[in-house]
Amino acid sequence: MSELGLTHLYSGKVRDLYEIGDDHLLMVASDRLSAFDVVMNEPIPEKGRVLTGLTHYWTREFAGELPSALVTCDPVVINDFVEGFVDATELHGRTMLVRKAEMLSLECIVRARLAGQAYDEYVDKGTVHAMAVPAGLQLTDPFPEPMFTPSTKEAAGHDVNIDLATAATIVGAERLREAQALCLDLFARASKKLLDVGLVLADTKFELGVIDGRLVFCDEVLTPDSSRIWPADEVRSGEAPPSFDKQPFRDWLTGAGWDRTPPPPPVPDEIVRLTSARYVAAYERVTGQLLVDWYGGSK
């Protein structure tokens, strides 16, 4: 990126941020894979393009109804902001030009079914994010209605699941209500679209920020990294279904006996290949398009 003269701002577990003038950022999704808040040493081919392509798909699918920081993923348009970008083909399809936003200090999670950390808490305490839910639920069972279940956004270490009252002390009650309404609305819209192609959206995590006083979606939207997505015909109460997200990779790590602290274990080539194939399948199943046809594809 140095040859493009960009100012590097930040590198997260998966994405790298670069400053473009006063109002925009270039967000580049790498092929790095994070699990249990630890980045693996082995990249997952095509992962960054899948995350970017799916975010673009959902943003355009609900254009006008989904307030978003995304400007474009088109390399030709990005080149108007970053001279020479059109020739940086290794970045095509994994790069988003976005407007700068003041980020909300919460992870905004919506859960429709019992899984993941919510399941662990439920088994232990009978609650989800310290909030009451019906007794007698099994793994994958639906809640009476989707739940807005925020967590803290920690600079280091694991985020902490919190209830709505605690979240209100962080961002304010009015902003929390607005975030909750936005996220539940998008979740409902996306769930219906996914069900049309035989998929169940079990849960997802949103990042929100403020631009010109308006709350907008930032970063990735409804991707395999931020969501649990299951084949509808294979969801059975009490059983872990196959999924189009990184849960199978997490399961492999657990089966390998890793204690979830760095350093991560080496990932075999076969697991890398299967994980990459699962990401590609997620993109193609959701969008109905081939990943090779997305920016950066080699035909």
Query: What would the DSSP string read from start to end of 48-69?
Result: HHHHHHHHHHHHHHTTTTS-BS
CB 119 within 8 A of CB 128: no
Going by C-alpha positions, the residue among 105, 165, 104, 158 that lies closest to residue 130 is 165
Answer yes or no: is pLDDT of 37 > 90: no
- The residue with tokens 């979240």 is 167
Tokens of 80: 């108007």
Q: How far apart are CA 229 and CA 227, in angstroms?
A: 6
pLDDT at 84: 96
Q: How far is CA 10 from CA 26, 114, 285, in A?
A: 11, 34, 32
What does the block give as tokens for 83? 């001279």
At residue 158, the pLDDT reads 75
SS3 26: strand
Give tens-digit pLDDT for 126-176: 999 999 999 999 999 999 999 999 999 987 667 899 999 999 999 999 999
Here the tokens at position 157 are: 């270490």
Q: What mean pLDDT is predicted for residues 26-55?
A: 96
Rounded to an integer, the average pLDDT of 235-245 is 93
215 within 8 A of 67, measured Cβ to Cβ? yes
What tens digit of pLDDT does each residue of 219-230 get? 999 999 999 999
Average pLDDT over residues 229-249: 92
Q: What is residue 64's predicted lDDT score, i.e. its pLDDT? A: 86
In percent, how much of the chain has pLDDT > 90? 90
* Residue 1 pLDDT grade (very low, low, confident, very high; cuts 50, 70, 90): low
Confidence of residue 271 (pLDDT cuts 50, 70, 90): very high
Which pLDDT value is given to residue 5?
85
| Helix orientation angle between 173-196 and 164-171, rounded to the nearest 10 degrees | 120
Q: Which CATH class is domain 2-100?
A: alpha beta
Please tell me the distance from the alpha carbon of residue 60 to that of residue 66, in angstroms, as a whole number.
9
Cβ neighbourhood burial of 255 (10 Å; 0-12, 13-18, 19+):
exposed
Question: CB within 8 A of 42, min separation 6: which ones?
Answer: 33, 266, 267, 272
> What are the φ/ψ torsions at residue 35 (nearest 5 degrees)?
-140, 135
Q: What mean pLDDT value characterizes the chain? A: 95
% of the chain exceeding 70 in pLDDT: 98
Q: What does pTM read for this prediction?
A: 0.95
Tokens of 276: 């990459």
Domains in the chain: boundaries: 2-100, 103-246
- What single-letter DSSP state applies at residue 40? -
CB 228 within 8 A of CB 247: yes
Mean pLDDT of 212-216: 96
Predicted confidence at residue 2, as pLDDT, reads 62
State the pLDDT at residue 28. Answer: 98
pLDDT at 299 over 70: no
pLDDT tens per residue across span 91-111: 999 999 999 999 999 999 999
What would the mean pLDDT of 262-289 be, rounded to a whole number?
95
Which is higher by pLDDT, 199 or 64?
199
CATH number of 103-246: 3.30.470.20
Q: What is the predicted pLDDT for the residue at 185? A: 97
pLDDT at position 298 is 79
Q: Where are the alpha helices (DSSP H) in 86-218?
A: 116-125, 164-171, 173-196
